Amino acid sequence: MAMTVADGARRIVTVCAGVQPGERVAVLLDDDVREGVAGALADAVSAVGAQPVLHRIDLAEAYDDDLLGHDVMLGLTGSSLYHSDLGRAAAARGTRVLALTACDEGTFSGGAIEADFAALEPRALDLSDRLGRADAIEVTTPRGFHLTADISGREGYSCTGRATTPGSRSGCPDIEAYIAAVEDSVEGTVVVDGSSTPYGLLDEPVTITVAGGRATDVKGGEHADLLRDFLDANGPDARTFAEFGFGLNPCAKVIGKIIEDEATYGTGHVAFGSNESFGGHTRAPIHLDLVYWHPTLTLDGVVVMRGGVLEV
């Protein structure tokens, strides 16, 4: 039987957020989100005996400190609650934070949300641990993507799709491992053939030259023009290399929605802009994720992922 929006909302509330009777749950939404999806989440929260509190918010603006008093925060917003000041502050106060970035009825009714999050969690934790213990990273793809960087002293992170312990935060239905490289050490060529945060699926690859940890050139047709303009509009720090990430959710597909695209097993993603929320040194107005297919990941000379498939 096909999953419904209500089924997906129930799974997010019970499995991914672990909401318990009597808890207060903030459901954040903005103008990019359909209220029906927020309503489905609120109904699922009520169904387990918890109290949903809907808040309309702009994550780019200052937040009300009253938002920090909830047990759980569900960020059903167009931009990521995970990377926001509010998301970090709420987690620091013990709130369980789930970023449901740009999720809609389709996200709730199948695909990535159907994953066995508990069973896949060790995979994400293991790869994030390997990233955190490595000094050097190299990533290649058959289409000419080739980056090298220093990641010594940087912590590996994971999104498990769940936030069930106090102070935990994750994207959902995202499952991935990721790391912020030493910013000025990143060198090489990015070839994006999947999707981008603001503009969705690519109709042709985009090639980005990275030198000294900065995007110095963007080529590849109309999508490249849009990305170049987007970077230019958000100041010089927007061009700073922010992240290496690797999708680990076998139920996800690249569909043009970043929360599912970057989770897709068989893909990698890089980001430019802000990375201070996961161990980097860049604070920028944006965090631009770019998804590509079939990464081969080498850490300290050892291949741990080949063509998007884990070797270990």
CATH code, 80: 3.40.50.720
Instruction: Tell whether the model's pLDDT for residue 211 goes beyond 80.
Output: yes
The predicted model gives 261-271 an average pLDDT of: 98
Asked if omega into 173 is within 30° of 0 (cis), the reply is yes
* pLDDT tens sequence across 5-23: 999 999 999 999 999 999 9
* pLDDT tens sequence across 292-301: 999 999 999 9
Candidate from 95-104, 141-150, 265-274 with smallest mean pLDDT: 95-104
The predicted model gives 266-278 an average pLDDT of: 96
Q: Give the residue from 66, 84, 109 where a domain finishes.
A: 109
The predicted model gives 240-250 an average pLDDT of: 99
Element (H, E) at 156: strand 156-159
Q: Give the residue from 109, 126, 147 where a domain finishes.
A: 109
The predicted model gives 220-239 an average pLDDT of: 96
Instruction: Tell whether the model's pLDDT for residue 168 goes beyond 70.
Output: yes
pLDDT at 161: 97
Name every residue whose Cβ is closer than 8 Å to that of residue 121 and which is 6 or more positions away in sequence.
160, 161, 162, 175
Instruction: Tell whether the model's pLDDT for residue 102 goes beyond 70.
Output: yes
d(CA 276, CA 87): 13
Name every residue whose Cβ is closer than 8 Å to that of residue 184 and which is 6 or more positions away in sequence.
212, 213
The predicted model gives 143-160 an average pLDDT of: 98
- Among 55, 50, 41, smallest CA distance to 12 is for 41
Q: Model's pTM, two decimal places? A: 0.93
d(CA 114, CA 91): 25
Same domain for 87 and 54:
yes
- pLDDT range class, residue 271, cuts 50, 70, 90: very high
Domain of 96?
Answer: 5-109
Same domain for 237 and 126:
yes
The predicted model gives 69-88 an average pLDDT of: 92
pLDDT at 166: 97
Instruction: Count the domains in the chain.
Output: 2
pLDDT at 31: 83
Same domain for 223 and 194:
yes
- 290 close to 269: Cβ distance less than 8 angstroms: yes
Q: Give the residue from 87, 109, 131 where a domain finishes.
A: 109
The predicted model gives 235-254 an average pLDDT of: 98
Same domain for 146 and 83:
no
Instruction: Tell whether the model's pLDDT for residue 123 goes beyond 90.
Output: yes
Instruction: Tell whether the model's pLDDT for residue 1 goes beyond 70.
Output: no
Mean of all residue pLDDT scores within the chain:
95
The predicted model gives 164-176 an average pLDDT of: 96
Which residue has 């695909």 as its token pair? 111
Same domain for 289 and 207:
yes
Same domain for 75 and 40:
yes
The predicted model gives 116-139 an average pLDDT of: 98
pLDDT at 228: 97
pLDDT at 64: 86
Same domain for 288 and 192:
yes
Same domain for 255 and 178:
yes
Same domain for 160 and 100:
no
Same domain for 150 and 87:
no
Task: Report the percent of the chain where pLDDT is more than 70.
Answer: 100
pLDDT at 61: 87
Instruction: Tell whether the model's pLDDT for residue 238 goes beyond 80.
Output: yes
Residue 93 CA, distance from chain mean position: 21
Same domain for 289 and 271:
yes
Same domain for 265 and 141:
yes
User: How many CA atoms lie within 13 Å of 105's alpha carbon, on the beta-carbon side?
Assistant: 4
